[in-house]
Structures are given as C-alpha cells and as structure tokens.
Chain A
Amino acid sequence: MSTTTDAVALPRRIAVDAAPTSAIVRRRTSQVALHAAFIAACAATLFPLLWMVRTAFAPSHDVFRATLSLWPDNATLGNFAAAFRLHPVGTWFVNSVVVAGAITLGKLALAVPAGFAFSVLSFRGRDAAFALVVGTMTVPYVITLLPTYVAVASIGLYDTLTGVIVPAVGHCGFVVFFLRQAFKALPRELFEAARIDGAGPWRQMLTIALPNIWGAVAAMAVLSFLGAWNLYLWPHLILDATEHKTLSIGLKLFATTGEQGGEWGPLMATALLAALPVVLLYLVAQRQLVSAFATSGIR
C-alpha cells in the first residue's frame, strides 16, 4: 500500500521541484479566467430577470422610452397597483397557490404510502402494481390530454380548480419512485423492532419511516410544487373565466389583451409576482431540489 502511495506521490514532487512558480502562476491565471467567464455567464443569465424587475418598478413614462439604464429614476410601486386594477391578479395568485398546494399535498398523500408499501411491505402482486405506477413515467402526457379533458368536462368540473387539480395528482409515478428509493435505504431492523413491539404498518410508516426520510419528502414537495405552479397547457385547457385562471395562464391573457405598445410595467410586475414564490422556494430549498434532480439524473 505504501509503495503505491509513493509511486503516485513521487511525480508530483518532481513536478513541483521542476517548475514551482510558473505552475502556480499558470494555475492562478486559469482560475482568474474561469471566474471572469462565469461572472459573464451569470450576468447574461440573470439579465432578463433584472430587466423584468427594473421594468416592474419603473414609472410609466420611463417604460416607453427606449433605455439601457439598469435602474429607473423615481422607482415606484405604481405598476403593481395598476396590474391589480387591470386584471384580477390577486385572485390569480390565490388560484395558483391553491392549485400548486393541493397538487403537492395530493401527490404526497398518494406517494408516501405507496412508496412505503413498495419498499417495506411485501404482498402478492407488489411488483406488478409497482410497474403499473412507475410505468406512468414513460407515458408522454399529451396522450392522456384529450380523454381527461372530456372526462373533466362531462362530470361538470370544466372551469374549476378541482378539474385542474385531480387529474394532475394522478401523475405521481416519479414521486412514488423517488420515495420508494428513500424508504428502501432504511435498515430493515428498524421495522422488525417496531413489529415486535406491536406497531401496525401505519404506525411504522408515520412514526418510524417518515421522520427518517424527511429530506426526500421535502425534495418531492418542492419539486411537485414547482411543477404545479408552472403548469401551463392543462390549466389553460380547463380554466376559462378570467377570475378562475392561475397566474401562468393569466399572464398570457394579460400579455395579449394589452393595447398596442402595451402595459409593460404592470405586466412585468405580474411576471415578478409569478416568479417570486418559486425563486424564493428555490433559494430556501436549493439543497433538496438539487438532490431530487440529481437522483432523477443518475438513475
């Protein structure tokens, strides 16, 4: 073992002896170049968001003037007031919260017990049932769109938030898959001990398993909320009346009904309101989100 370590360490010592300063200088300059490139890339990436925020706070005379200044003189909240006056933005916001919150809770309510059953419990037909649930991940959702729309319309849920929420909850394959992986990683002895103590499966799940996979549940909650907050085509098809819309589809209405030359300030204020919750959620729960994406990526 020690010989291999020497063999690996030796060339390094030689390299350092041979060119001590130039190697360090080269490494420093390459770090500086890296930082310069990343600062430029980040600035370019964030710029459209900065421009949205700038416009959201700009007084109207400033918006109609072609400008390159990064921040308006006399920043104002007037665009927010104007947005609420022009469209039911507050209602759209509440609708978005209701839709995203309900879909998130619904998916977790289905996926936590299912993930638990598919990992900890054993029963006949388990593999087939698991395949049935996780197989939905491979189905492109466009192929479910028309019949689901017809079904929602024919039971009187057209133009209701319930009509948007219920079918969306059904697409929970990935959440089940992810939570099953988390439950599977728990040691079996944990449940054996509880079983001997006479705890039924529900108690095992709620008091033993869940507290140990809290991170995974949080990751799925954040991911589901983001996905539901950002839904477009499905609520666009189901919701019709202006005051029933969510922010995502309200924005489209807003963008297309403005007069020519448009109410850009109020529109950007509304876009900012639509972006803010998800950006904040992302900043707060970045670790969970990254872990969720990472698992989905390396699978």
Chain B
Amino acid sequence: MMAAWRRLGASPWMFAGPAVAASIVFVWLPMASTLGLSFFDWSLLRQEATWRGLDHYRGTLANPDFHLALGNTGLYLAALIPLQVGIPLVLAFALVRVKAKTIGRLYRTALFAPSVLSFPVAAVVWLWLFNPTVGFLNTLGGSIGLAPQRWLSDPSLAIWSVIIVAFWKSFGLNLLIFLAALANVPTDVTEAARIDGTSAIRQAIDIELPLISPALFFALVTTIIVVLDEIVGAVDVLTEGGPYRTSSNLLYFLYERGFRHFQFGEAAAVAVLIAAIVASVTWAQFQFGERHVHYD
C-alpha cells in the first residue's frame, strides 16, 4: 500500500499534471466556451441560452461603434509600432556605443523605469500632467506662449494623449529586448567593421540590424500585445474611451458590451474577432519572419 502511494507520488504526472490541468481549465476550456457563447444569447441572471447562429457576428460587424473601435485600434497600431520599435532601436544602437559601461547601465535603468509601472499608475501620473488648468504641460506651454490644450477631452487630441502615455510606459521593454540581442552580436564582427572604417550608422544598419532581426520581430509582437490588450488600463483611467469613443479600442468595446451592458453573447463574438485579428497578425508576422528573419 505504502509502496503504491510512493510510486504514485513519484509519477511524472504528479509534476506535470497540475500545470496541464490549469492550462486546460483556465485557458483552453474558456477559449472553447467563448467560441460557443458567441452563437447564443445568454445572460448571467437568467442562465438560459438561445441559439442565435451568426447574429452576434453580423450585428457586431455592422455596429458603427465597432467600426470606430476597429479604426482606433488601427490608429493605435499605426502610431505605436513605428514609435515603439524605431525609438528603442535607435536608443539601443546608441547605448551599446557608450564607452563608460557603468553610466550606460544607469541610462538603461532610467529609460526602463516607467516600464515596470502598471498602465493605471502611468495613466494617473499623466492625468495630472494633462490637467487643463493647473497641469504641468499646459503650464509649461503657457510659459512659452502656447494656448492651453484639452489633452483628454478634445476629440481630435485624446487618442494621441493615450498614445503618448502608452509609448512612455512601454518603450523600455523593447529597449531591453534590443540591448539583449545586441549583446549577443559577436564582437569580432563589429570590431572588424570598425577597423575597416565602416561608419557607426552603416555598421548598425548593415551588420547589427540583420543579426538582431529575431528581436525586431519579437518587439513587434510585444507592441501589438500592448495595443490590443494592456492599453485598456490607460484608456479606462484617462478617457474611458471618450470623448465620443474617439480613444476607444477593440478591447474597450468588448468591456463595454460585456460588462457595462452585459451582452455576453455579443461580447464573446467580439472576443473571437479580437483573437482572430491577433492570430492573423501573428501568422502574418510568422510568414514575414520565415522569409526575413535570420535565426543564428
């Protein structure tokens, strides 16, 4: 009896089982349920389902608010991908050329600091900087003769204010990714180029950039995750998607449909659409990666 227990305790499934079970219960089953839920009308209170087929998908795709959220998500991506990949890339190339390594590490520490904060903390800090009457930005602007801006309540400005916060809060992650990749570039390669008299910029573009392309690829993925997923913490605190939904995005739209209006079936359809977009972007990146990324 004891021996049987001991054999069971030593079974590999005692090690791997809990993680496998957790993955099934908390990821795979909910994923399948969301897919199922999207074909039904269902409410938490009545707990009875009515089959609706593809109605929620049709309704969502025809909903002008969904179009706005989709367009905004596109704008977030179009603005943040070049910012969050380009600027950290330039910073990383410059940082590896700083000769004083200790000071270089201090720069890295400072530049990454906002990235350890949460989106709501970052958003609250900026909420104060954006304050139209006594906030720092308008005070600074006023002191050099600029008109005060309604950073968060001007419909043409609000989404850009959220973009500023998102960039500030998350560019450091991509910087770290690039620095780690550059640290793996063999020094004899860069040394040889330097001795050949290659300029620093040519060296960065022609030699280092191709060698770190897997990191570039990964930075693109982290940026897309920021926009489709994490940015909601900033949107909710800064603007609640407003004014007039001009800073809303797909996840915020889902949040409104599911948890403000409790249209679970409809929200499930939105979740499936978001996941489909994420999956297709990842797939497109993979295709791109297969052809252009150097893995070695």
Contact = CB atoms under 8 A, between A and B. Distances in A.
- 4 closest pairs, A vs B, by CB? A170-B26, A294-B180, A230-B118, A114-B19
Contacts of B133: 66, 261
Contacts of B196: 11
Contacts of A138: 282
Given A52-B125, A66-B139, A146 B271 contact: yes
A150 B264 contact: yes
A130 B16 CA distance: 8
A143 B180 contact: no
Contacts, number: 290
Contact of B13 (A123, A149, A282): A123
A40 B237 CA distance: 29
A31 interface: yes
Interface stretch (B64-72, B76-84, B153-161, B226-234): B226-234
Interface in B22-80: 22-31, 33-35, 37, 44
Nearest to A111: B19
A34 interface: yes
Interface stretch (A43-51, A73-81, A82-90, A212-220): A43-51
A221 interface: no
Given A129-B16, A297-B215, A46 B113 contact: yes
Given A110-B19, A172-B23, A296-B218, 16 more contacts: A34-B97, A38-B98, A42-B106, A67-B139, A109-B18, A121-B15, A136-B23, A146-B258, A169-B26, A171-B26, A200-B9, A202-B10, A233-B233, A255-B124, A294-B183, A297-B219
B111 interface: yes
B168 A251 contact: no
A51 B19 contact: no
Interface in B235-262: 236-237, 251, 254-255, 258-259
Interface residues on A, range: 35 or more
A144 B16 contact: no
Nearest to B119: A232
B185 to A, nearest CB: 11
A8 interface: yes
Contacts of B106: 42
A271 B124 contact: yes
Q: Interface SS of chain A: helix, strand, loop or mixed? A: helix
A147 B124 contact: no
A147 B33 contact: yes
A134 B216 CA distance: 22
Given A113-B15, A132-B20, A133-B20, A278 B117 contact: yes
A138 B279 CA distance: 8
Interface in A243-285: 248-249, 251-252, 254-255, 261-262, 264, 267-268, 271, 274-275, 278-279, 281-283
A201 B218 contact: no
A264 B128 contact: yes
B120 A52 contact: no
Nearest to A277: B116
Contacts of A122: 12
Contacts of B142: 66
Contacts of A141: 229
Contacts of B251: 142, 233
A155 interface: no
B34 A113 contact: no
B25 A255 contact: no
B27 A136 contact: yes
Given A51-B136, A232-B118, A140 B109 contact: no
Nearest to B94: A34
B204 interface: no
